[in-house]
Structure 1
Amino acid sequence: MTPEFPRPQRLDQIGTGDNQIVLAADADERAALAKRFGLLSLEALESRFVLRRESQGIVARGHVSARVTQACVATGTPLPATVEEDFAIRFLPEPAGGSVDDEVELSADECDIVFYTGNAIDLGEAAAETMALALDPFPRSPQAASVLKAAGVLSEEEAKPFGALAGLKDALAKKGS
């Protein structure tokens, strides 16, 4: 798969000091990313990276900013949203054999791990994935609750274990009146 927003950064150009890089997706790249991530549109995508070579790979810290339009999951209504997301990523060479056997536990102050092959890391893909992970997976318009209720979808409150019993209690109370 060819990435929609390729920004390879050669490893031999990353020193031990901080390397600052600013990226912005152009209109064609944003349209392709919107399609990939199921967005109605992606109006802006920018990211700032500070790269540093460390003994445990390349560490990228920075910030992703985006303006998107998502569709309400119930009504399809366009919903504008913004993403302002800080990130910390550790790029490591792909393990021999291409598989990772050990599960890695990360604390809150540690970096996400991204494996790479070859002599470059893709900062554009890292920015795109960071943006996608920050999006609301189930965006809802103000009308969503009524549309879902009319379709017979239970609210979170109704779906709780005692929600069904509360409905039964209300039905029995009406019957007894």
Structure 2
Amino acid sequence: MSNLTSLRVADLPQNAPTPFDLRPSAASLDEIRQDLGLLGLRKLSFVGEVRAQGKRDWVLNGKLGATVIQPCVVTLDPVTTRIDVPVRRTFLSDWTDPDEPEFEIPEDDESEPLGPEIDPALVMVEALALALPQYPRKDGAELGQVDYTEPGKQAMTDEDVKPFAGLAGLRDALKKDE
């Protein structure tokens, strides 16, 4: 799929934006769905433009839309989410990889090295992966309290783990003795 949508940088006009409008086929949707571990993927679209920034850099601006179905983290039931997010990538001709091991790239950094091609389809799949809910949860689904212990012993509860729960119990016992 990506080879069909790659834009050769040498062929891009310097003085006008190059529009793109991606709406993957059913086969491509199924491939993306499998790659991202989704239960379902519908209405995927990525519309935008690539435009020159200065003499040697390029900016891709687009709007990603999709309907995804993921398993609920609690019940594993299907959870449907609509994603509509803006996407921006800046392709820099003078990109240098940081050499220091402790160098951290900011989370919101949208810069990438400029290669011979800009591929909106790759940007689309990457942006979709980043926009997916990390912990999809069905409405009303909650984790209940689960107690584990050896047979014949009383299970520890969340209340037992609180730092001053034991002291409060001791205080109450001392008050009864008075």
Identify whether the pair has TM-score above 0.5, normalized to the shorter chain: yes
Q: For residues 92 and 160 of structure 2, what CA distance do their matches in structure 1 show? A: 48
Measured at CA, do residues 57 and 151 of structure 1 come closer, stay the same or move farther in structure 2, by a change above 3 Å? farther
Within a 5 Å distance, the mapping from 1:3-18 to structure 2 comes to 5-6=2-3, 7-16=5-14, 17-18=16-17
Q: Provide structure 2 residue ranges, at least 5 long, that are not aligned to the other structure.
A: 149-157
Instruction: Tell me how far 1:18 sits from its aligned partner.
Output: 1.7
Q: Does residue 39 of structure 1 match 2:38?
A: yes
Decide which of 120, 125, 138 is 1:123's aligned counterpart: 120
Count of residues in correspondence between the two structures: 159
Fraction of identical pairs, as percent: 20
TM-score, scaled to structure 2: 0.72
Instruction: Tell me how far 1:37 sits from its aligned partner.
Output: 1.1
Instruction: Confirm or deny: 8 A CA contact 2:48 2:62 kept in the other structure.
Output: yes
Instruction: Confirm or deny: 8 A CA contact 1:22 1:49 kept in the other structure.
Output: yes
Measured at CA, do residues 127 and 166 of structure 1 come closer, stay the same or move farther in structure 2, by a change above 3 Å? same
Instruction: Confirm or deny: 8 A CA contact 1:5 1:128 kept in the other structure.
Output: no
Instruction: Confirm or deny: 8 A CA contact 2:64 2:128 kept in the other structure.
Output: yes
Instruction: Tell me how far 1:30 sits from its aligned partner.
Output: 1.1
Code of the aligned partner of 1:13: D
Q: For residues 151 and 131 of structure 1, what CA distance do their matches in structure 2 show? A: 38
Q: Provide structure 1 residue ranges, at least 5 long, that are not aligned to the other structure.
A: 153-157
Match of 2:92 in 1: 92
Quote the RMSD (CA, aligned, Å).
3.5
Instruction: Confirm or deny: 8 A CA contact 1:106 1:112 kept in the other structure.
Output: no
Within a 5 Å distance, the mapping from 1:48-63 to structure 2 comes to 48-55=47-54, 57-63=57-63
Task: Encode CA deviations 1:11-45: one digit per residue, 9 max, x unaligned.
Answer: 12322222221111111111111111111111121
SS of the aligned residue for 2:126 comes to helix
Measured at CA, do residues 128 and 80 of structure 1 come closer, stay the same or move farther in structure 2, by a change above 3 Å? same
Rg (Cα) greater in structure: 2
- Please state which structure has a larger fraction of its residues in helix: 1
Code of the aligned partner of 2:80: P
Instruction: Confirm or deny: 8 A CA contact 2:95 2:114 kept in the other structure.
Output: no
TM-score, scaled to structure 1: 0.72
Bigger shift: 99-108 or 49-58? Answer: 99-108
